[in-house]
């Protein structure tokens, strides 16, 4: 089991001053990101987040009944952020007359590289309440992006289900993102090198399906 050592506690004290908890529920979710990004998801506890924010555990428990409920809020935020990232990438590509699929696919992978704690938490059923209303709403929002022609970048006849093209697109970018974050691919490489690898993979995908927008 992960335990916070002296060095960890010192690091947490250094960032505590960043938190302004007029909205304590949001501040606690921010603390999850802080701890998980530095020490891994296994280091997150409701008490550790309360300590980082600078409130008593009892104050934290008024908002989240347990660690699982806090992690559910964190996962819901991750899903929404990924949805926003895909939408922003599509909008920018359209404005600049760039390939929308390439832009969205690369944005998905870059999201994972920049936010590994978010990426790991999104679908981790062992640590969240998957039936939570807020989480389900966020998951449905991302699902709509993925089913809707991979964020409207490929032709899609049915926005309520996954086509084979959508599944391949998602599998490719999610798989590489996962290999970067938790797997053996890109170990020791800079982010720039990983992005180049991702760009090359996405370019390889483009001619596979005539339905991909250019």
Distances (CA, A) of 121 to 33, 62, 168: 10, 23, 22
Neighbours of 53 (CB within 10 A): 21
Is the pLDDT confidence value at 64 over 90? yes
Per-residue model confidence (pLDDT) at position 22: 62
- List pLDDT tens digits, range 140-195: 999 999 999 999 998 888 988 999 989 999 999 999 999 999 989 988 899 999 99
Question: Cα dihedral sign for 150, 152, 158, 163?
Answer: negative
Alpha-carbon gap, residue 24 to 59, rounded angstroms:
9
Specify the pLDDT at position 206: 87
Distance of CA 71 to the CA centre of its chain: 13
% of the chain beyond a pLDDT of 70: 87
Contact 26, 49 (CB under 8 A): no
Instruction: Provide the b/e sequence for 22-47 (b: ≥16 CB within 10 Å).
Output: eebeebbbbbbbbbbeebebebbbbe
Q: Write down the pLDDT at residue 159.
A: 87
Domain spans in the chain, listed from the N-terminal domain onward: 6-61, 75-208
Kindly report the CATH class assigned to 75-208.
mainly alpha
Mean pLDDT confidence for 23-42: 91
Distance CA 84, CA 56 (A): 33
pLDDT bracket for residue 2 (50, 70, 90): very low
Q: Count other C-beta atoms under 10 Å from residue 181's C-beta.
A: 17
């Amino acid at each position: 089991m992960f335990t916070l050592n002296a060095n960890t506690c010192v690091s947490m004290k250094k960032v505590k001053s960043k938190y302004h908890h007029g909205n304590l529920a949001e501040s606690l979710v921010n603390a999850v990101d802080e701890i998980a990004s530095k020490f891994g998801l296994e280091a997150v506890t409701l008490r550790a987040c309360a300590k980082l924010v600078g409130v008593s555990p009892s104050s934290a428990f008024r908002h989240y009944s347990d660690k699982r409920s806090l992690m559910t809020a964190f996962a819901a935020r991750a899903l929404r952020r990924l949805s926003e990232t895909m939408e922003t990438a599509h909008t920018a590509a359209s404005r600049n007359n760039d390939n929308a699929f390439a832009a969205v696919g690369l944005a998905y992978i870059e999201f994972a590289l920049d936010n590994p704690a978010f990426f790991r938490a999104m679908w981790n059923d062992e640590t969240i309440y998957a039936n939570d209303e807020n989480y389900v709403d966020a998951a449905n929002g991302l699902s709509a992006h993925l089913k809707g022609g991979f964020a409207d970048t490929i032709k899609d006849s049915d926005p309520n289900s996954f086509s084979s093209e959508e599944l391949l697109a998602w599998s490719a970018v999610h798989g590489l993102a996962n290999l970067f974050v938790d797997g053996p691919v890109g170990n020791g490489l800079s982010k720039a090198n990983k992005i180049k690898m991702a760009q090359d993979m996405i370019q390889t995908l483009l001619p596979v399906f005539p339905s991909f927008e250019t």
